[in-house]
């Protein structure tokens, strides 16, 4: 099922067992922010970027190394070299996605990001492990993978936020490529560029969501009902500090930027603890100047 009908989706989702696959990735990869800079094309539809802000490439590299070191303590994490010609490549989850035995290449909106999918080293890495390639670049829909599509891997459910970086054709292409059981399509609020900034499903059992990031906040409420009581509702200010751009890479820990963690209220931290999660914050304020945060940096390997 792929639909805009939230009631039909909820009816199926409520009766879907968490037996689709592992709720968390078995490994991850990053792309080093070599020559860290702000991409002008990306800034055209990313309200979280300010081209007038000064960036410090050395500090971005240091923060990225800290992230790599921290993640590697939990699961195997590979880092591929970056390229100054592709300044947004440090957010590889938009271009590369995986399902068991499959590497999926997304159809990026901006030419500066389309070049990233040509990388022979990343594609060769997965080919050597026997992954088949599913290339979505030739199909007509724009689909920026797990930036646009938040996936509940335990149940095989997808949440596709539509906007400049994902349209209905692209959502359908991702639904098929990831082999999902059901995908709910909905419009993001004006000014939002990726779904994974306004919501995150944590290990299939908890939800972080900002209703203001949805064109219809009622959609956020319908999704929240599927994960109650383990739901953290974010304010627009918390969303702006990337509290929603978090990820569970194990059943007991939520990775989030330090800015995002600092934005959480005590009650929200308690709610995560009640759901069985400890916070694992990493300082990424320099990288966040590029309009993305921790979850955007992590490409999951299933």
Q: Mind listing the domains of the chain with CATH numbers?
A: 2-301 (3.75.10.10)
How far, CA to CA in Å, does 301 sit from each of 93, 124, 155, 230, 279? 10, 14, 17, 25, 22
So what's the pLDDT on residue 110? 84
pLDDT at 113: 87
pLDDT at 51: 62
Quick one: CA dihedral 106, 99, 221, 229, positive or negative?
A: negative
pLDDT of residue 291: 92
Is residue 227 within a helix (H) or strand (E), and if so which, with residue range? helix 217-227
pLDDT of residue 41: 65
- Give the helix/strand (H/E) hosting 104: strand 102-105
Q: Are 251 and 276 in contact (CB under 8 A)?
A: yes
Three-state DSSP class for residue 78: strand
- Taking 70 as the pLDDT cut, the residues of the chain under it are 39-45, 49-51
Q: Cα–Cα distance between 66 and 29 in angstroms, integer?
A: 14
283: how many CB neighbours lie within 10 A of its CB? Answer: 17
Alpha helices in 91-197 (DSSP H): 111-114, 120-128, 145-148, 168-178
The residue with tokens 């290339």 is: 135
Q: What is the pTM of this model?
A: 0.95
Task: Count other Cβ atoms within 10 Å, centred on residue 148.
Answer: 29
pLDDT in tens, 163-187: 999 999 999 999 999 999 999 999 9
User: What is the pLDDT at residue 36?
Assistant: 83
In which element (H, E) is residue 6 found? helix 6-13
Question: From CA 57, how far away is CA 167, in angstroms rounded?
Answer: 33
Per-position b or e across 54-72, b if 16+ CB within 10 A of its CB: eeeeeebbebbeebbeebe
């Amino acid at each position: 099922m792929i639909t805009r009908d939230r009631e039909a989706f909820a009816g199926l989702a409520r009766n879907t067992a968490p037996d689709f696959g592992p709720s968390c990735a078995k490994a991850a990869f990053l792309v080093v922010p070599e020559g860290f800079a702000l991409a002008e094309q990306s800034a055209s539809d990313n309200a979280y970027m300010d081209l007038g802000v000064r960036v410090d490439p050395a500090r971005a590299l240091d923060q990225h190394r800290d992230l790599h070191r921290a993640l590697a303590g939990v699961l195997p994490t590979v880092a591929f070299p970056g390229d100054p010609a592709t300044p947004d490549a440090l957010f590889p989850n938009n271009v590369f996605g995986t399902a068991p035995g499959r590497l999926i290449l997304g159809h990026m909106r901006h030419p500066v990001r389309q070049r990233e999918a040509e990388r022979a080293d990343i594609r060769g890495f997965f080919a050597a492990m026997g992954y088949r390639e599913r290339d979505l670049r030739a199909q007509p829909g724009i689909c920026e993978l797990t930036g646009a599509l938040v996936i509940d891997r335990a149940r095989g459910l997808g949440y596709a936020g539509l906007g400049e970086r994902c349209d209905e054709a692209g959502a359908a292409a991702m639904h098929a490529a990831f082999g999902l059981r059901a995908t709910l399509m909905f419009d993001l609020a004006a000014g939002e560029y990726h779904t994974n900034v306004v919501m995150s499903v944590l290990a299939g059992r908890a939800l972080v969501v900002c209703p203001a990031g949805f064109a219809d906040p009622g959609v956020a409420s319908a999704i929240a009902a599927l994960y109650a009581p383990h739901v953290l509702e974010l304010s627009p200010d918390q969303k702006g500090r990337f509290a929603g751009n978090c990820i569970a890479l194990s059943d007991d820990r939520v990775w989030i930027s330090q800015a995002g963690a600092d934005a959480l209220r005590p009650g929200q931290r308690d709610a995560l603890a009640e759901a069985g999660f400890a916070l694992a914050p990493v300082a990424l304020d320099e990288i966040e100047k590029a309009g993305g945060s921790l979850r955007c940096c992590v490409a999951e390997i299933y």
